[in-house]
Structure 1
């Protein structure tokens, strides 16, 4: 579905970048183990069976169950880590401390579950902190999630925290240390997990004596760009009285699956490797929420019908998944389902439309949509259609085109620009 995947596009280059980032972070955190033992007023609080089965009410959602230190970096360490991914470092003003939060939330069906996320605080800056909600792009393996993985998922959280804001970065359901499978591209449950992550972060911030102001700056990349728009709408509608939306700056989100993303699978605007990966992930995950087929063989050709469900169990890496899939959608899908994806109807159309429409509202905060005309994962038509939806409601949203850059580079280029823009917005309040 045209969302960020750590190693789908230009896979060898991105794997090299990931390894470089991992080495940079490892070098920067030589003292972390010692820091974990001395972090102020923090202890691992494991979730037991009784807690896991607790009935989650509106009052319980976002309850903090554990707060675990995962990183302690100086300013220079943060700068080296961000530079290893090709990200500008002129906005790095502070070192940081990062924590994994475990908290109560709900499944897509509304039943109780737990989720995890990364909470990051700057070393320095004001005592009371604004918070950036940063929602990540597509990840197939649970260990790539921000609270566990030490590479791609941490670039934006570390960037924003080093600029002087707290960061709440949810892993989403079924990723990180959360139970079950990830309901990929289920925007509704990604929003509930993100709101509940903000609630858990508010508690964590109080416990760490760095309280939050309640002002939220929402950003996210790819799948997370879609989530950021939907989260902004939820906050604007009063999802939690403690939080006020101040600005929206999503990057390369698939805001219009029906009219921009899916047509691009067939006209060359989305590259084949990414398109096959995203579509397989989308169909297998959505089938658990909006039954699309009774048996995988109705949608997928053999031998793929027999393996696709297991490939996306959150325990396989992209480097394992991609070689196991064919080179084209025609080789992947049955004739009937290939036509369905070209011209969605019935259950598939309902699943697509359940994710669309998140730009059809009137934010009363400034909005910028970051994208690039060179993106072959999420074509810029998504951002332009989103801007048009907002304009129809009287909202001027600037589309920032990063030019002939690929999907992941768009993210790296946009991040520091977003920090500077958030600084400008914050100065007005």
Structure 2
């Protein structure tokens, strides 16, 4: 999640749970393949095969220089947003990469992302993949929000510490077409992996090379996305080699923890309304939740809720346009769906929550969380820890804009960069 600027009533972020469909696809148009149905995966470059040799996943389409920061400037920018700047050693150059990937149908599409490259003398660079928190507005992605120090703070931290840091925008955000699929680990994984491939192709243009080692991290939505990338890298047959994983404040247990916390009022009420709206709208493509929005949303919200999450509505506008409580938002059927998920919706939840349950990491994993988190209940992390057998690390109390959840991105990044630097 990211801060919503200019919203006095809400000091936290709007969520990012988009729907991976072509524009206008909500009204009875072609849907995504059903849960459990395998989409096409596109051509994968084999181990040792150089990227950029054809129309393959991860092929670099364009690269644009964004900014150059000296080490002093990088420290100043990080400090301004509350990030720990003590690991800053180098200045950095930032770039926007646009690359080939696949959508939820397995069909070719493109995505964009931010690459941060340290200005040091190292020719061969270790990689950090950072997957960002929720954004519902297309420009609020890492590569298209240069003035947003919060969303760029983590990749800037890793770059200034000496890593080449990638921060994919995900599908449907930044310069990618279509709608963004929120909390869809499958497409977050493909976008993240293909961003690494694009960075590997780009670095030689600057006289640098990517090392095979990849350190994986992410915040909030990006925490489960980070686990998805780590799981895929561990499966092998990729040029890259997973080294360590450090997710921060993730919603790893949507059915068992996140939804109940919103229904019972334990999570921040206004943001629970935003999360719930985004969840039902964006998951409709893969779970057939409703045919018409008014089946689950009360009026007047049913007539405008899908517009709020098509990528064209700023987060502050979305929040102001939604009610303050779930009772004002949901119909009885909407409540019933969340209280007792069934059918394809229940299957979609099981598949998403499997990110902590269906694999055993072979590298060190540290799950970072804040026990005061008002948006993503800490039980998400403790539940994931029990399944993964990972190391669970409680973060020091930190806030950003009054939000412990957002503050955990600052505190978690400070911990993760030190840990990664120790390898």
Q: Tell me the TM-score normalised to structure 1 length.
A: 0.85
Q: Which moved more, 1:152-161 or 1:339-348?
A: 339-348
Note the C-alpha offset of 1:351. Answer: 2.3
Q: Which moved more, 1:294-303 or 1:349-358?
A: 349-358
Structure 1 pair 11–359 and aligned structure 2 pair: CA distance change class (3 A): farther
Structure 1 equivalent of residue 223 of structure 2: 225
Within 2, Cα distance between the matches of 1:404 and 1:82? 15
Structure 2 equivalent of residue 253 of structure 1: 250
Structure 1 pair 11–368 and aligned structure 2 pair: CA distance change class (3 A): farther
Structure 1 pair 15–389 and aligned structure 2 pair: CA distance change class (3 A): closer
Structure 1 residue 145 corresponds to structure 2 residue 141: yes
Query: Are the counterparts in 2 of residues 116 and 172 from structure 1 also a CA contact under 8 Å?
Result: yes
Structure 1 residue 128 corresponds to structure 2 residue 124: yes
Query: Are the counterparts in 1 of residues 395 and 412 from structure 2 also a CA contact under 8 Å?
Result: no
Structure 1 pair 349–274 and aligned structure 2 pair: CA distance change class (3 A): same
Aligned to 1:220, the other structure's residue is in SS state: strand
Aligned to 1:185, the other structure's residue is in SS state: coil
Alignment of 1:298-313 (within 5 A): 298-313=295-310
Aligned to 2:266, the other structure's residue is in SS state: coil
Note the C-alpha offset of 1:56. Answer: 4.9
**Counterpart pick for 1:88 among 84, 91, 106:** 84
Structure 2 equivalent of residue 193 of structure 1: 191
Aligned to 2:123, the other structure's residue is in SS state: coil
Structure 1 residue 340 corresponds to structure 2 residue 350: no
Structure 2 equivalent of residue 172 of structure 1: 170
Alignment of 1:201-216 (within 5 A): 201-216=199-214
Within 2, Cα distance between the matches of 1:351 and 1:189? 14
Within 2, Cα distance between the matches of 1:14 and 1:325? 15
Cα deviations by residue, 1:147-201 (Å, 9 ceiling, x for unpaired): 1102122110100000000011100000000111111111100100101001111
Within 1, Cα distance between the matches of 2:330 and 2:254? 18
**Counterpart pick for 2:396 among 396, 402, 423:** 402
**Counterpart pick for 1:384 among 357, 382, 385:** 382
Aligned to 1:411, the other structure's residue is in SS state: helix
Query: Are the counterparts in 2 of residues 368 and 400 from structure 1 also a CA contact under 8 Å?
Result: no
Aligned to 1:265, the other structure's residue is in SS state: helix
Unaligned segments of structure 2, at least 5 residues: 14-40, 46-55
**Counterpart pick for 1:330 among 327, 330, 346:** 327
May I ask how many residue pairs the two structures share in their alignment?
379
**What RMSD over aligned residues (CA atoms) do the two structures have, in Å?**
1.9
Cα deviations by residue, 1:26-62 (Å, 9 ceiling, x for unpaired): xxxxxxxxxxxxxxxxxxxxxxxxxxxxx95334000
Cα deviations by residue, 1:89-128 (Å, 9 ceiling, x for unpaired): 1111111001110100000110110000011100115220
Cα deviations by residue, 1:261-287 (Å, 9 ceiling, x for unpaired): 111112332111111111111111111
Within 1, Cα distance between the matches of 2:164 and 2:398? 32
Structure 1 pair 11–252 and aligned structure 2 pair: CA distance change class (3 A): farther
Within 2, Cα distance between the matches of 1:78 and 1:326? 39
Query: Are the counterparts in 1 of residues 398 and 408 from structure 2 also a CA contact under 8 Å?
Result: no
Aligned to 2:67, the other structure's residue is in SS state: strand
Cα deviations by residue, 1:302-321 (Å, 9 ceiling, x for unpaired): 11110001111111111100
Aligned to 1:261, the other structure's residue is in SS state: helix
Structure 2 equivalent of residue 422 of structure 1: 420
Note the C-alpha offset of 1:335. Answer: 0.8
Note the C-alpha offset of 1:15. Answer: 8.5
**Counterpart pick for 2:114 among 115, 118, 124:** 118
Aligned to 2:320, the other structure's residue is in SS state: helix
**Counterpart pick for 1:7 among 4, 13, 29:** 4
Aligned to 1:84, the other structure's residue is in SS state: helix
Query: Are the counterparts in 2 of residues 129 and 213 from structure 1 also a CA contact under 8 Å?
Result: yes
Structure 1 pair 247–88 and aligned structure 2 pair: CA distance change class (3 A): same
Aligned to 2:86, the other structure's residue is in SS state: coil
Within 2, Cα distance between the matches of 1:83 and 1:269? 32
Within 1, Cα distance between the matches of 2:326 and 2:332? 10
Structure 1 pair 416–404 and aligned structure 2 pair: CA distance change class (3 A): closer
Query: Are the counterparts in 2 of residues 226 and 254 from structure 1 also a CA contact under 8 Å?
Result: yes
